[in-house]
């Protein structure tokens, strides 16, 4: 048997293997926990400088939530320290303003943070640290409200995530204190002699949905101008637990020619096997079908490559026979055939049918000319945890796998081995290791786990 190298049309094939019993709707989370808060106040000066100490318990990776209240409401200009992102600003006319901010604690932080407020006014504030919050997207939802009454009411919001930490913030223009809303825990209540006054309360909401409004009685019991906010902090996803029977690479071979064939023997020590064949044809070559041990394989994909001359194909078979089996492609020209087996694959729905986000079970990435030393990265979105990628380059000797690649078929198939990924975006790269520009077209699929 002679091997033919497909050198001028390196259409590359990638598999993203998803191995977990958990769907994206069943992701586990790390609970949000708050630490001790710090508070501060500032009086009228030319420029009001409100300094708040960093909480002693704040650790790298925590989220800090800062709350600022000023007299003069909308007339106050508030500038936060570097690195702080505003969540909301709620103005009760020119009576009182309530502002909230978040920040991720870095490896090196100052001992305090200073807000600049103009024109001169009175201001109070507090900072609370939170662990277990998603640092890339910490705020699930937020809203604010204002009023003039004896009871300040923070608005109801509808959370979209389970396990959100709901923070209710209350400010009033004069001196006073706030009662703790039912079912919440007070973090601080700042009672400044000439106002404003500020309070923060929190509660865990186990299920996504409406929080309900949060009411606080003002003391002394008199109608006051007030502003409130309700903020839901989003939990960070916990690392997915290891699957009980992960998808695993079993065997792989490759060969090229007209009507190419290979012999492959699948393992017997695991279960839920699937056989995969990729075929790449140069020029105007096409593949009319592939058989595995004499049984016809199911075609998953037929895509023209970027030059319009060649074609790339995916075929698969569920539970291929044991023992040595011949995998053969019927082709009209020279094609490179690779055959692989994986265990632990779902036997009824082996592929993620929305891998590209547009109801397709594969992602294609066509590149007519890739310069030497350039890595082409293809990205899809998985819907189960513990994914890992497999890359087939169809024996193109001038192409090598990118980062994290483990060779499965010499110079033809690479994967990411035991590296796992939570459900979501997953990428794999292929590197042009030649000294000239190359056509590199890649295709990825996602296998789904058996349990």
Q: Where are the domains of the chain?
A: 11-26+241-447, 33-233
Instruction: Give me the phi and psi of 121, to 5 degrees please.
Output: -165, 180
Q: How many other C-beta atoms can be found within 10 angstroms of the C-beta atom of residue 413?
A: 28
* pLDDT over threshold 60, residue 28: no
**Are 76 and 97 contacting, i.e. CB atoms less than 8 angstroms apart?**
yes
C-alpha distances (whole Å) from 126 to each of 64, 97, 115, 306 are 10, 14, 12, 58
Residue with tokens 């998808």: 247
Give which of 119, 72, 77 is closest to 93, Cα–Cα: 72
Tell me, rounded to whole angstroms, the distance of Cα 58 from its chain centroid: 25
Mean pLDDT of 254-267: 95
Q: How far apart are CA 89 and CA 227, in angstroms?
A: 10
pLDDT for res 393:
66
Tokens of 258: 């007209």
Tell me, rounded to whole angstroms, the distance of Cα 316 from its chain centroid: 29
Q: Is the pTM of this model over 0.75?
A: no
* pLDDT over threshold 60, residue 17: no
* pLDDT over threshold 70, residue 92: yes
* pLDDT over threshold 50, residue 7: no
pLDDT for res 283:
75
pLDDT for res 418:
63
Q: Are strands 11-18 and 438-447 parallel, antiparallel or unpaired?
A: parallel
**Are 273 and 342 contacting, i.e. CB atoms less than 8 angstroms apart?**
yes
Q: Is 100 helix (H, G, I), strand (E, B) or coil?
A: strand
**Are 161 and 206 contacting, i.e. CB atoms less than 8 angstroms apart?**
no
Give which of 419, 396, 443 is closest to 242, Cα–Cα: 419
Q: How far apart are CA 316 and CA 72, in angstroms?
A: 69
Cβ neighbours for 369, distance < 8 A, ≥ 6 positions apart: 437, 438, 439
* pLDDT over threshold 80, residue 390: no
Res. 8 pLDDT band, cuts 50 70 90: very low
Q: Where are the beta strands (DSSP E) in 155-282?
A: 164-172, 177-178, 185-191, 197-205, 214-219, 224-233, 248-258, 261-266, 274-281
Dihedral of CA atoms 21, 24, 30, 32 in degrees, nearest 10, equals: -160
List, for residues 291-308, the tens digit of each pLDDT value: 999 999 999 999 888 777
* pLDDT over threshold 50, residue 1: no
Of the listed ranges 23-32, 321-330, 351-360, the one predicted with least confidence: 23-32
List, for residues 181-216, the tens digit of each pLDDT value: 999 999 999 988 888 999 999 999 999 999 999 999
Q: How far apart are CA 326 and CA 309, in angstroms?
A: 28
**Are 428 and 391 contacting, i.e. CB atoms less than 8 angstroms apart?**
yes
Q: How far apart are CA 63 and CA 39, in angstroms?
A: 16
Give which of 301, 298, 292, 366 is closest to 324, Cα–Cα: 292
Q: How many other C-beta atoms can be found within 10 angstroms of the C-beta atom of residue 86?
A: 13
């Amino acid at each position: 048997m002679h091997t033919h190298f497909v050198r001028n049309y390196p259409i590359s094939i990638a598999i993203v293997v998803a191995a977990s019993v958990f769907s994206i709707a069943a992701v586990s989370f790390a609970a949000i926990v708050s630490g001790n808060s710090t508070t501060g106040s500032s009086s009228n000066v030319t420029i009001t400088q409100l300094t708040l100490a960093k909480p002693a318990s704040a650790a790298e990776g925590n989220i800090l939530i800062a709350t600022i209240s000023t007299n003069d409401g909308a007339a106050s200009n508030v500038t936060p320290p570097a690195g702080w992102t505003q969540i909301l600003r709620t103005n009760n006319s020119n009576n009182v303003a309530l502002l909230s901010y978040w920040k991720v604690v870095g490896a090196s932080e100052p001992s305090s943070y200073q807000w600049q407020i103009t024109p001169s006014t009175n201001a109070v504030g507090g900072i609370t640290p939170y662990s277990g919050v998603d640092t890339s997207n910490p705020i699930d939802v937020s809203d604010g409200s204002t009023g003039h009454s004896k009871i300040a009411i923070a608005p109801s919001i509808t959370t979209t995530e389970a396990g959100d930490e709901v923070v209710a913030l209350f400010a009033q223009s004069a001196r006073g204190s706030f009662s703790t809303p039912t079912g919440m825990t007070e973090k601080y209540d700042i009672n400044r002699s000439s106002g404003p006054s500020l309070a923060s309360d929190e509660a865990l909401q186990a299920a996504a949905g409406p929080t309900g409004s949060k009411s606080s009685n003002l003391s002394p019991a008199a109608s006051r101008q007030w502003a409130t906010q309700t903020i839901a902090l989003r939990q960070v996803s916990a690392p997915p637990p290891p699957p009980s029977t992960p998808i695993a690479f079993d065997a792989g071979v490759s060969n090229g020619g007209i009507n190419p064939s290979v012999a492959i023997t699948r393992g017997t020590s695991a279960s839920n096997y699937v056989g995969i064949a990729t075929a790449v044809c140069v020029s105007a070559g096409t593949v009319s079908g592939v058989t595995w041990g004499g049984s016809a394989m199911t075609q998953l994909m037929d895509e023209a490559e970027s030059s319009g001359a060649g074609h790339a194909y995916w075929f698969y078979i569920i539970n291929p026979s044991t023992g040595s089996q011949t995998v053969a492609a019927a082709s009209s020209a020279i094609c490179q055939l690779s055959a692989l087996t994986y265990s632990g694959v779902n036997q009824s729905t082996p592929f993620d049918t929305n891998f590209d986000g547009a109801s397709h079970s594969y992602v294609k990435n066509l590149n007519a000319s890739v310069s030497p030393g350039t890595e082409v990265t293809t990205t899809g979105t998985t819907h189960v945890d513990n994914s890992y990628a497999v890359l087939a380059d169809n024996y193109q000797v001038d192409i090598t796998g990118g980062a994290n690649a483990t060779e499965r078929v010499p110079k033809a198939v690479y994967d990411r081995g035991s590296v796992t990924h939570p459900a979501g975006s997953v990428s794999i790269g292929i590197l042009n290791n030649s000294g000239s520009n190359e056509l590199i077209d890649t295709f990825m699929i996602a296998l789904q786990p058996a349990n």
